[in-house]
Structure 1
Amino acid sequence: MKMDHAQETPPSGAVTAAVLGLASMTIMANATVASSLPGLREHYAGVPHIDTLAGLIVTLPSLAIVLSAGVMGVLIDRWDRQKLLVLTAALYCIGGTSGLWAESLWGMLAGRLALGLGVAGTMNLGMTWAGDLWHGPARARFLGMQGAAISAAGIVFMLAGGALASLHWRGAFAVYALILPIAALAFVVLGPRARQMQAARGRPADRSTSSARFPWAAYAFIAPLAFLFQTAFYVTPTRLPFHLEALGVTSPFVVGALMAALVAVSAPMSLMYGRIRARLSAMVIFGLSFALIGLGFLAHATASGWQGVLAGSMIGGLGMGISMPNYTTWFMARVPATMRGRASGLLTTAFFLGQFASPLASAPLVAAFGLAGTFAVVGGALIALGGGLWALHVLRPEPAFAEA
């Protein structure tokens, strides 16, 4: 395949919008319904272990993503991407909106699993198309733009979710129907390129392609880092609404707005990622992002009202904005062109395994230290991890694996 070197003309605005749109759907997978958790918990108050199950409403899609992302990645490399887009968008819409019509909590949880299958497909498609259509510094700039698009979508989706949850706790689940116009655009404008990919697969592989190997050493470094990042970060949507409730903040709209502040700050930072990456090594960016998120958590822990939580969300947003593009840029630079689908699937697995594990990992911390104490403990650990990554940069000024 020569797709890597054939794309000298920048992708059109419509293609760019379609890939950005697929990426923006990722933010909706879990956190959009966080504003509904107090109402859901009250509605299902008689269900045993409702506090843990309410947290799983946010993170259960991650389990389905963990189990299916690798398979989705292989399908992207080997199957018709258009058919996969239609299938996964349908799962996304049906599963995502299940909170509107499922009567039992268990039916809603089943819908969240279906949503996860849909997200595994759409997220991997977006990540793989980004790797295929942009290269070198242009890829870093695009992934920064993609991070900003995810953040902007997060603001809209979280505010919309909070507003709809104020009308009824089920309302936030309606936001998932937005996948339909996004998938329709992607199906139309990416069709010609998808057909080119299909045709290229039928050609004899050249020697460089046939001898390419998957960079497992690079994955062994980036996967645990991605897992820890998501495990810690998803303490916010699963525990912050209840922390705010303890502080006297009970309005679902205000909860959604405070969480949206995080992604509002992350958007401009993502847009600046290309420039930041040109000046700082990947290890420094990783370390800085963990330290900033940790400082945000410490602000949550010491907050006496919504103002302190807002400050923590804004500080954490700085770290989130520079972090997400860094993972994809660093890893995709080390992956052969014919294996980007598999790479996307494996990186997605690491991210969402961390998301799924988050409420389970934080539960004993909440039991031992309370909500504020949990934010303090996790925040301190993140700052220590950030310092360790900075030390790695000092000891090895070049990245652990040379940039391709």
Structure 2
Amino acid sequence: MAAVGGIVSDTPATAPATELPAWRRALVIFILLTGGIKSALAFTTVVPALQLIAKEFGGQGDDVLSAQFVVTLAPVGMALSGLLAGLVVSNRNLRNTMFLSLGICTVAGLMQLVVQNYYLLLASRFVLGFSAVVADVAMTSILAAQFAGALRSKLIGYRQAISSIGTVSTMLLGGWLAQNYGWRAPGIMFLLPGFMLLLAFVAFDRPIHLERAPKGGESFSVWQLWPLLLLSLVMSIGHTMPSFQMPFLLRDNGVTSAVLVSRVPALSSAVSIVAAFGFGFVYARLGAWTLVAAAILMGSGFIGAGLVPTYELILLCVVIEGIGAGWTMPFFLNRFLDKVSPSQRSSAIGLVQSSLFLGHFLNPILTAPIRLNLGIHATFVAVGAALILVAAFIGAWTLAFRGSARGI
């Protein structure tokens, strides 16, 4: 097997990596580390316009929930895609799977510009989420196969940071487009995965071959890591609060500008960028306690956001929350990859993605009773308090099973 710049096998085993031009190796690395941006677009093209979408599709029902479903149908597709990733993505079809999923993602995302029917829009969002995660699993499988230990932790942190950079920039651009041209306009940003597809055609010009460890005697199942899956689901429910619930907290506080609304999740992502870049350093020293710290920071930020009276103080709370959010996704990816064999990586990555995006779908459903009965401010306080309790549980579990295979 030959490696492309130490990152990915992009050539048959008989061709040395040195035969690849430096520009092609750089392009391969660029695509792998920036691949997460397309998944962020599933949220940033609609979140700044949630108030506008609620106005158009609310009808006589719960306009907030109707708008939130436009966001959450993409995570439903992402969750289902993650469950099936082990079947869809294999070491024999990585390149073609990546090409096809990027193309479908582009078309499904652009449907936001033209679809008039609410349910057809929801369907396109589902397809968008499904295809985006298939592409992510293929790309991350390539990256994970080539790295281990601290270096892999750093690279996954870098990938998350780059994805957050894309979230910030596209969130701000989405807010500006929605404010000036309507809620459909941010959909134009789905030309980006189309451009990535064109680059991928150039970069991955030969079949990708990855080595897999023999399966003989392998009895461990990734489903045995269900405590981690459950925790990733819970953390994901909290992770989406700045995007799914914050627009309506701001509306309750009298803030209705799409530009101002977009700045809140953009700030959360901006802080997450810094946190993700430092994830490898933190994880190497704290291990499972990284998740404890993340849950405490997120919970404290949400409780503060629910209690403070001004837009500026909400931004401060979002800074606190964003630090913990930046460690969450890299933590679960690394923890799973540390525990599974090479032949189980695609399934493990898919399950992590599935649990995280299922949490995105569940957020508006589980928070709706609190929001409708106690208000949006109480919703943030309740979610924050729940995350603090989760942090206490993780800490107690880690102490009880320190050094044991049952540890987090």
Which residue does the alignment assign to 2:11? none
Kept in 2: contact 1:296–1:315 (CA 8 A): yes
Q: Contact 1:302/1:308 (CA < 8 Å) preserved in 2? A: no
1:118 — aligned with what? Answer: 131
Question: Take 1:401 and 1:14, find their aligned partners in 2: how far apart are those partners?
Answer: 41
Give 1:10's match in structure 2, choosing from 6, 9, 12.
6
Q: Percent identity?
A: 24
Give the secondary structure class of the aligned counterpart of 2:55: helix
The match for 2:269 among 263, 277, 281 is 263
Instruction: Kindly indicate whether residue 150 of structure 2 is the aligned counterpart of residue 140 of structure 1.
Output: no
| Contact 1:69–1:120 (Cα < 8 Å) also in 2 | yes
Aligned to 2:282: 276
Q: Deviations over 1:151-206 (max 9, x none)?
A: 111111101111111111211222222111223323432444x4323xx68xxxx7
* CA contact 1:77–1:338 (8 Å) conserved in 2: no
Question: What do residues 73-122 of structure 1 show as CA deviations (whole Å, max 9, x unaligned)?
Answer: 32211542222122211221121122211112122112111111211212
TM-score, normalised with respect to structure 1: 0.90
Alpha-carbon contact 2:58-2:66 (below 8 Å) kept: no
The question of 1:61 aligning with 2:61 is answered: no
Q: Which residue of 2 aligns with 1:317?
A: 322
5 Å-filtered alignment, 1:336-351, equals 336-351=341-356
- Counterpart Cα distance in 2 of 1:127 and 1:8: 15
Query: How large is the RMSD of aligned CA atoms in angstroms?
Result: 2.2
Contact 1:73 1:124 in 2 (8 A): no
Shift of 1:147: 1.4
| Deviation by residue 1:20-49 (Cα, 9 ceiling, x = unmatched) | 121222222224411111111112343644
Counterpart contact for 2:58–2:67, Cα < 8 Å: no
Any conservation in 2 of the 1:270–1:321 contact (CA below 8 Å)? Answer: yes
Q: Which runs of 5+ in 2 are unaligned?
A: 8-24
Deviation at 1:19, TM superposition (A): 0.8
Report how many aligned residue pairs link the two structures.
390
The answer to whether 1:353 aligns with 2:390 is no
What is the distance in 1 between the residues matched to 2:69 and 2:223? Answer: 32
Q: Hey, what's the Cα distance between the residues in 2 that align with 1:73 and 1:318?
A: 31
List alignment gaps of at least 5 residues for structure 1: none
Runs of 4+ in 1 over 4 A off after TM superposition: 6-9, 399-403
- Structure-1 separation of matches of 2:405 and 2:317: 31
Q: Partner letter of residue 259 of structure 1?
A: P
1:330 is displaced (CA, Å) by: 0.8
- Which segment is superposed worse, 16-25 or 211-220? 211-220
Aligned amino acid, residue 189 of structure 2: V
TM-score by length of structure 2 reads 0.89
Is 1:173–2:187 an aligned residue pair?
yes
1:29-178 matches, cutoff 5 A: 29-46=42-59, 48-77=61-90, 79-167=92-180, 168-178=182-192
Give, as a single letter, the amino acid of the residue that structure 2 aligns with 1:370: G
CA distance in 2, matches of 1:217, 1:45: 39
Q: 1:8 to 1:104 in 2, by over 3 A?
A: closer
Q: Which moved more, 1:32-41 or 1:180-189?
A: 180-189
Q: Which residue identity is paired with 1:10?
A: G
Deviates more, 1:394-403 or 1:147-156: 394-403
Q: 1:73 to 1:191 in 2, by over 3 A?
A: farther
SS in 2 for 1:318: helix
Q: How far, CA to CA, are the matches of 2:155 and 2:406 in structure 1? A: 22
* Equivalent position amino acid for 2:398 in 1: H
Answer whether contact 1:77 1:342 (CA < 8 A) is retained. Answer: no
Q: Is the CA contact 2:250–2:256 (under 8 Å) kept in the aligned structure 1?
A: yes
- Give the match's secondary structure for 2:255: coil
Q: How far 1:360 sits from its partner (Å)?
A: 0.6
The 1-side partners of 2:61 and 2:390 are apart by: 36
Q: CA separation in 1, counterparts of 2:286 and 2:404? A: 10
| Separation in 2, partners of 1:45, 1:355 | 20
Aligned to 1:232: 238
1:329 & 1:392 partners in 2: Cα distance?
Answer: 19
